[in-house]
Structure 1
Amino acid sequence: MTPDWKAISARLQKRNQDSYSYRNEMLHVLEDSLSFDGYCCTVVNPTTLTSVGAITEESIDAIHHDLLAYEYEGNETNSYKNLIKAPVKVGRLSDHFGSNASRRYEDILKPNLFSDELRAPLMVHNKCYGFLTLFRKAGEAGPVFFSDEDIVLLQKLGPIMGEALQAYYHALLVEEAGKNSIGNGVIILNKSMQIQSMNEAGVTYLNILREAEHTTETLSLPKPIQAISARLLAGEKNAPPVIIPLMNSSHIIASASFLYNASETTPHIAISLNNASPREMSFHLMDAYALTYREQQIVLECLTGAPSKEIASNLNISYYTVQDHFKIIFQKVGVTSRNELIWELFSKHHQ
């Protein structure tokens, strides 16, 4: 009997208050229908696609840093950036063996005895809220690969998990921003992502992020910090900051930059961590509600108090198009008036 994945997901959502527990249980349920030897299930910021928290199986955790580096360097087989735009949103690595062999397979997975990889972006409303990556190890008889049935299963599961992760992401973002302010945290890493120094606020943020990943390992570097560091090392010098929503804590905004020292030729990585401001929260909240660029433009016009005719003139669209956009915006945000819309997206976060 084929499992009802939508019902299973709904049941797990009801039982688990945070996405970490939801993802952990979903992976255990998935094992009954799909064989895999390793996994990484990541929540990502829907705007930047940067990891804001990952669950990794132990053997994958040991190579997670290397996998991140290849992901952000570009031109990799089945990169999530490309899978999100692909008509079939599941990628099987073994389909590309041969002339188009993946560098991460040859350099990382194969030496660690992994013979195949299956990837699925977890998406809803054309927005990606997570990545699900599964791995198979070679057996005594040789390589073991994922089947076509496995691909079909992840095609069904991707949107279901995407909807759940969107709900968790949104639920965290709508909590009051700016509470329990810690201050500006700074963590200095070397290019191998080893911690060199940090200030007191940096220690606090580091402990919060480790707690969110359910780890007490004092030498571990939280996955979101690994991700933004990997993007910087891959050449994304203008990569935008990422907001990390955390249960029972303020939302953290994190960014990475190179720190140069006149006496050293190799720069360090400076991680800046701070509480997300109400303005930053509002923009990310609009993303969490999956508002399109045009819908966000209309919301910002609405914030100025402009009537629909003025909004239409400012955006060079018709009055009726503005009204149609408002109907869709109200449905997405769950409000019935402009006043409620402004309260939900802005005012309640500026108290």
Structure 2
Amino acid sequence: MSAETLRRAAEKITRLCAEPRDLVSLWQESTEVLARAVPHYWTPCFYTLDPASLLMTSHFHHGLDEFPREWLVSEYYADDVNQLVDVVRSKSGIATLHEATNGNPASSPRWHRNMVMGGDQELITRLRTRSGEVWGALALYREPRAPIFTDHEKTFVQSVAPLLAEGARAALLLGQAREPDCADSPGLLILDHNGDVESTTPGVERWLAELPDGDWDSGRLPSSVLTLAGRTLSMAEHPHRGDIAVSRVLSRSGTWVVLHGACLSSTTAPRVAVIIEPANPARLYPLLMSAYGLTEREKDITRLVLRGASTSEIAVDLVLSAHTVQQHLKSIFDKTGVHSRRDLVGKVFFAHYEPRLRDNEQRARDHHPLRGEPWPQANHSA
């Protein structure tokens, strides 16, 4: 593939990810671009992952409306290579099944599963924002006897991965703002090119009241919103940069709030969507507490276990001894009724994340916004 083709494809993905849209539309339109830049078998498989746990919350694969449960069991219980969490945590954030098996993919159960669908080669890359949050993963496949993925193709995929991550994050926030389900759901307002409010989602007034120097009742928007909107409009004039307008603001109540700005496509004057959300929402924490009664330290360790961290990595991250980590793990296993880290990951996924993944599959079929957070209620029958 020529350098010019890859450059145009990267610019197209930059534009797609900078314009707020629902997640399925983003994946569908990105698929068309990827097909021209990196030839592959059938269609990509897009995943969203919960940044707090790195567990799967949705997948989109045209023609595969329901992800087989046995594949999920293999992903979270089997001893195999090229699993999502391993690729996501790797230094490069990208891997192929051929590389992971030293050129012998038939040694991997994953390869045999892929071959049932006709895919011999598998390339996975993480979708991580420039700020370091992982919002998903992308998998591409090639049929038997097709050329191996080249270094140029892998470099291209790596270059657009942060853009796709930002696009996924914005799409999930946009969907939740349009269909809020809790008090901390994001707020959305649309501004015209003069900074005047065109429309809002329910409850956005509460978010605006939290921001300094604004007065919703008198029609005065907070300066942080207007500044972000101005930056967004300015950045829209240079889409090749691939930046997303984001700002962090200390609210009147003393908590941090994050604002995201993105331009909306329009045949007339440009418009800006501003999404407001709490900084670092930790929905995983109350879920673990309510379901299993974990202490704060046990929740911290469980979060790192879910993310694939080793005992030594947990010890360094939390400034604990390896022995103390092991003692906490024993308590966590007792409370959750498991006997190993792998069982813990599997139990949390199938109790709290598979229901979300299945709900998102139905949402996609019904053309409703997808959700990125774990399922709010424990499903102990899983």
Please, what TM-score do these two structures have when normalized by structure 1?
A: 0.49
